[in-house]
Amino acid sequence: MSEYDFDLFVIGAGSGGVRASRMAAASGMRVAVAEDRYMGGTCVNVGCVPKKLFVYGSGYSESFEDARAYGWEGQGAHFNWATLRDNTAKEVARLNDIYRNLLSNSGVTVIGGRATLIGRHEVRVGEDTYTAEKILVATGGWPTVPDFPGSEFAITSNEVFSLEVFPQRILVVGGGYIAVEFAGVFAGLGAETHLSYRRDLFLRGFDKDVRTFTRDEMGKKGVQLRFNHQVTAIEKQDDGSLLVRDDTGDILVVDAVLFATGRNPNTKGLGLEKLGVVLHKDGTIGVDDNFRSSVTSIYALGDVTGGPELTPVALAEAMALVKHWQTGKTAEIDYNNIPTAVFCQPNIGTVGLTEEEARQAGITVEIYKSDFRAMRHTVSGRDERTLMKLVVDKSSDKVVGAHMVGPDAGEIIQGIAIAMKAGATKTVFDQTIGIHPTAAEEFVTMRTPVTQ
């Protein structure tokens, strides 16, 4: 008989926590998971899933306009915010139930409430205390708003999906995935949309061509871009609108201000410091290659450890961790060539090195690019273009980076990522017969390098 209530106690039922719980239970471990908010974590509730549904919803305005060029006639459509908001909430609720059932059907004990660590093998939830041989912290991240006059009037991605009234005018602040995506969403839904970023160009870390191309395409879609711009104060007006002041003294009046300026690891109040768990300056938990913290019974994975903040990464880490427990072998995670997508409009898909990263690494590169108008817009007349780019190591002929801005970029790049993971060379790309007519075939028909 074990001296502990559970073999594994997981704090946080997000993507990584749920996957680790289910796999551990399937391997025969007695598992409990505690969650104080919602099943499925950020991705299911206030991240990937509702965001992608909002992106779909915001794309219909252009589709209705383009349909006329294809012979569809009729009255223009009217957007109803409550319908999109409420239908999205229903889908999220459905997924919450699915996650809860997945855990229960796997034999995992689900405990509702905020868990805190009170010992190396002890967790408290409410008035109850549980013991476990291993404790896994998978609490993810939490959006932050910097402190400035009126910052309490700003909203984050946590609140944006449930707004009571659709903002006819909105200012989105930030330069990463979330900011760029929501600027596109609200513009597509018909709001007067402004995007504020404190540097000269958003999406830092992406390929420079991708960043500039996305900037131009977003501008065409009506997003008013404000670079080198800093919000200094927000003042609520008598009519409920928000007066926003910036560092130049200019004023902008909007109905909502969405701050998407970063997320902090959700580690406060867990009791980690009291137990001697090493935390980095940014609040992330320090772990070794097997996701073990400085306290040998406590593990952590996902966003809370400061790695790539992507749901599939948390899932992969969870599987690697449970396999490590089963076999005793080092958890193997390859963080190279992780594909990712930004669901702005048009979408961004990317995998591997940017041109800048490749050159900084001392690689002699060949660059292949294609910038074209997609076939559907030759009839619709819409001034939207697609960018595709390959970064090739000239000495080995290996494709070390692939980047796209255009419809379904994420779907296309996923297949390219498999090829790159398998070590595909540019010659292999050239020998692959394309599917015609598609945008994706451009990746296998680019023959002449634009730079070397």
Cα angle value 426/428/429 (rounded, 5°): 65
315 shares its domain with 247: no
52 shares its domain with 178: no
Label each residue of 137-201 as H, E or C: ECCCEEECCCCCCCHHHCECCCCHHHCCCCCCEEEEECCCHHHHHHHHHHHHCCCEEEEEECCCC
The two three-digit tokens of residue 151, written as one number: 């910052």
Its domain, for residue 349, covers 340-444
Give one word for 119, left, alpha or beta, with left for phi > 0 and alpha for psi -120 to 50: beta
In tens digits, the chain (452 residues) has pLDDT values of 579 999 999 999 999 999 999 999 999 999 999 999 999 999 999 999 999 999 999 999 999 999 999 999 988 789 999 999 999 999 999 999 999 999 999 999 999 999 999 999 999 999 999 999 999 999 999 999 999 999 999 999 999 999 999 999 999 999 999 999 999 999 999 999 999 999 999 999 999 999 999 999 999 999 999 999 999 999 999 999 999 999 999 999 999 999 999 999 999 999 999 999 999 999 999 999 999 999 999 999 999 999 999 999 999 999 999 999 999 999 989 999 999 999 999 999 999 999 999 999 999 999 999 999 999 999 999 999 999 999 999 999 999 999 999 999 999 999 999 999 999 999 999 999 999 999 999 999 999 999 76
Q: What are phi and psi of 218, to 5 degrees?
A: -65, -35
93 shares its domain with 190: no
CA–CA gap between residue 402 and residue 391 (Å, rounded): 6
319 shares its domain with 245: no
Per-residue pLDDT tens digits for 176-199 = 999 999 999 999 999 999 999 999
389 shares its domain with 254: no
Residue type, 357: E
End-to-end CA distance of the chain: 66
Active-site hit among 121, 194, 403, 436 = 436
239 shares its domain with 287: no
61 shares its domain with 167: no
The position carrying tokens 């549904």 is 53
Of the residues 213, 239, 261, the one at which a domain ends = 261
The position carrying tokens 């940014």 is 282
77 shares its domain with 138: yes
Of the residues 304, 327, 350, the one at which a domain ends = 327
pTM: predicted TM-score of the whole model, two decimal places: 0.95
308 shares its domain with 268: yes
* Strand partners for 392: 366, 399
Total of domains in the chain: 3
Nearest to 70 by CA among 346, 382, 372, 371: 382
CATH number of domain containing 119: 3.50.50.60
**334, part of any domain:** no
CA–CA gap between residue 386 and residue 404 (Å, rounded): 7
CATH number of domain containing 359: 3.30.390.30
**177, part of any domain:** yes
Of the residues 244, 261, 278, the one at which a domain ends = 261
Q: Is 436 a catalytic residue?
A: yes
175 shares its domain with 222: yes
